[in-house]
Amino acid sequence: TTRTPHFLGLSDGVGLWQNSHYGDGIIIGVLDTGIWPERPSFLDSGLPPVPNTWKGTCETGPDFPASACNRKIIGARAFYKGYESYLEGPIDEMKESKSPRDTEGHGTHTASTAAGSMVSNASLFEFAYGEARGMATNARIAAYKICWKMGCFDSDILAAMDQAIADGVDVISLSVGATGYAPQYDHDSIAIGAFGAANHGIVVSCSAGNSGPGPSTAVNIAPWILTVGASTIDREFPADVVLGDGRIFGGVSLYSGEPLGDSKLPLVYGGDCGDRYCHMGSLNSSKVEGKIVVCDRGGNARVEKGGAVKLAGGLGMILENTADNGEELISDAHLIPATMVGEAAGNKILEYIKTTQFPTATISFRGTVIGPSPPAPKVAAFSSRGPNHLTPEILKPDVIAPGVNILAGWTGAAAPTDLDIDPRRVDFNIISGTSMSCPHVSGLAALLKKAYPNWSPAAIKSALMTTAYNLDNSGHTINDLATGEEASPFIYGAGHVDPNRALNPGLVYDIDSSDYIAFLCSIGYDSKRIEVFVREPNSSDVCATKLATPGDLNYPSFSVVFNSNDHVVKYRRKVKNVGTSAGAVYEAKVNAPPGVKISVSPSKLEFSAVNQTLSYEVSFASDSLGLSSVESQGFGSIEWSDGVHLVRSPIAVRW
């Protein structure tokens, strides 16, 4: 990726990159649509031999020779038995490859984001130009192809997880998830498989989903999974709409052909020309020819709308968001001069068309713009959110990371727009999704794993969470693109990852599998339901160490639910001193949500040894103000500091 390493503060010769040797020796298993190995992001120049912990293989096929693997792509396999069983027949190899080759693009993008090699002069049609590299430049990639045209089947995902564990991966990156609400943990194969992987010391980093901005939309929310939401960086691709009356509305575009020029063209609304969504073949040529057409978002692919306008003789397209998407702008590599504007601008442009006898417009393309305005990061409207639909006492998502307009490697088999009408092929593509934020965090987890080989997956997750930030680069609380208002921990979790701070978290909240079993007991799972996790029929005493409440799981964040019976909620935590000072003394600072009194006991933790663990208890007491609300929420934090480290846990409270 270009720009995101800089935005994350990663820099050569210092911090996490230096201290982790760029992830050398760490293996990231990317479970996705496969990989396009010829991309420059997968060159292995300068990499030492394959780690001796690697036990996997490179599956070959007619379109995937042994030479496809090297010291960067050290393994590649494809899993399709579940898919073919679903199809009730073999895969049509004219349409998709049974080898690990990625004919979709998604897997090449995520793999190169996590651990791509450094590539100079990377861009998509000169957009996002720069030096592209994955987060863990020296980590190795094992590609497990589990996604096919009709989806990614649990049976294949579990087979890939099984193989990845056997092969010796350190991190699993999974930008895939359920549609709709998250299934119960014991019915969620990703959750169950991730539990098995975590038991083998593997960090499992997953995308939270793109079902935002509605509440409780996050998936992959088991507490042993690192759940990642998506946010913007300080880079945009502006393409402004200039109306005949001189008004200018900001939009975004990756259109790279001939510009429209300064002279204005007649402007029409697709809804007045046959189809507000501008489906292919549905626009009336006599009304569209030689004009710019405004199309509503939704109904068909965004870039396809431009194709429909072109087919009808139109010269340009303005894609306007409806209320469903608000002000979230997605940059697309349009085939004709086109831009996307937010709902507010779209409404004003439509009003202009309605009230003007001869409405005109043009589009001004401004290329790649990097800078502090608008502030970044902002949470993407599409990023799935909490509260946790399964266990409200566990805050999800865990963190946010760059996931909007991310440039990374792409397949040679499909266009950057993924449309059949688009003949272009590119080395790099710019796309958005929590799929893109997940591998950023997977790469960071790989770096931490290298820096601290003995840390558990939970400790690595804790380091990333307790060092995350929630202020943007203008010093204000991170904004939510869905509303234009401040986002909250239900939206960004602990906040935006800060890798260099994660290198030195001071304290970590560690968890092992027995804690997770105690957690499952606390949410009412009986021994029968826990069997799939422990893999044996349970005796009734499996819950002998049941937590008093699921909120007692030693999680690095706090989510509190008050109801009419519970005015006071108490959670316990244990923190391990992973700093270098044996005699570290940490003091607690509480930022309580309105309507809540919080006490921390003890409020001072005096360590006497490195790796010593100390406990504390937090009491959350709701006052009558909070209880008077029918349903409301509030946010705060608990910060432990020894004067050097700041170990911050977000608090989310619901009544």
Partner 1 sequence: SSDCPQNFIIHVSKSHKPSLFSSHHHWYSSILHSLPPSPHPTKLLYTYQLSINGFSARLTSSQANKLKHFPGILSVIPDQARQIH
Contact residues for partner 1, defined by CB under 8 A: 32-33, 81-82, 85-86, 104, 106, 147, 150-155, 157-159, 161-162, 165-166, 175-179, 183, 186-187, 189-190, 192-193, 196-197, 200, 207-210, 433-435, 438, 528, 531-532, 535-537
The answer to whether 154 is a known catalytic residue is no
Decide whether 130 or 177 has the Cβ nearer to partner 1: 177
Closest among 216, 230, 250 to 318, alpha carbons compared: 250
Q: Could you say which of 106, 279, 334, 645 is catalytic?
A: 106
Kindly give the pairing relationship between strand 428-431 and strand 171-174: unpaired
The answer to whether 106 is a known catalytic residue is yes
| Shortest separation between residue 75's beta carbon and partner 1, angstroms | 16
Pair of tokens at residue 336: 């004709």
| Shortest separation between residue 466's beta carbon and partner 1, angstroms | 25
Decide whether 433 or 495 has the Cβ nearer to partner 1: 433
| Shortest separation between residue 612's beta carbon and partner 1, angstroms | 33
> Is 533:186 a contact under the CB 8 Å cutoff?
yes
DSSP calls for 541-591: GGGTT--SSGGGS--SSEEEE-BTTBSEEEEEEEEEE-SS-TT-EEEEEEE
Decide whether 166 or 585 has the Cβ nearer to partner 1: 166
| Shortest separation between residue 199's beta carbon and partner 1, angstroms | 9
- Cβ-Cβ contacts under 8 Å for 154 (sequence gap 6 or more): 82, 189, 190
Q: Could you say which of 231, 331, 383, 435 is catalytic?
A: 435
> Is 114:136 a contact under the CB 8 Å cutoff?
yes
- Alpha-carbon distance of 188 to 551, in angstroms, equals 21
Q: How far is CA 290 from CA 166, 278, 286, 573, in A?
A: 60, 16, 9, 66
DSSP single-letter state for residue 214 = S
- Cβ-Cβ contacts under 8 Å for 161 (sequence gap 6 or more): 31, 172, 193, 194, 196, 197
| Shortest separation between residue 192's beta carbon and partner 1, angstroms | 6
> Is 506:578 a contact under the CB 8 Å cutoff?
yes
> Is 400:379 a contact under the CB 8 Å cutoff?
yes
Q: Is the peptide bond before 374 cis (omega within 30 degrees of 0)?
A: yes
Decide whether 135 or 317 has the Cβ nearer to partner 1: 135
Q: Let me know the angle formed at the C-alpha of 238 by 237 and 240, rounded to the nearest 5 degrees.
A: 155
- Alpha-carbon distance of 54 to 24, in angstroms, equals 13
Rg over CA atoms, the chain: 25
Decide whether 183 or 250 has the Cβ nearer to partner 1: 183
Decide whether 368 or 417 has the Cβ nearer to partner 1: 417
Closest among 529, 523, 494 to 390, alpha carbons compared: 523
Decide whether 161 or 561 has the Cβ nearer to partner 1: 161
> Is 154:102 a contact under the CB 8 Å cutoff?
no
| Shortest separation between residue 390's beta carbon and partner 1, angstroms | 16
| Shortest separation between residue 383's beta carbon and partner 1, angstroms | 10
Q: How far is CA 151 from CA 156, 176, 302, 512, in A?
A: 10, 10, 21, 32
- Alpha-carbon distance of 242 to 262, in angstroms, equals 9
Decide whether 160 or 288 has the Cβ nearer to partner 1: 160
Decide whether 229 or 377 has the Cβ nearer to partner 1: 229
| Shortest separation between residue 54's beta carbon and partner 1, angstroms | 16
Decide whether 187 or 247 has the Cβ nearer to partner 1: 187
The answer to whether 334 is a known catalytic residue is no
* Three-state SS at 62: coil
- Alpha-carbon distance of 411 to 418, in angstroms, equals 10
Residues comprising the chain, all counted? 655
| Shortest separation between residue 142's beta carbon and partner 1, angstroms | 15
| Shortest separation between residue 374's beta carbon and partner 1, angstroms | 24
Q: Could you say which of 20, 32, 253, 275 is catalytic?
A: 32
Q: Which residues are catalytic?
A: 32, 106, 435
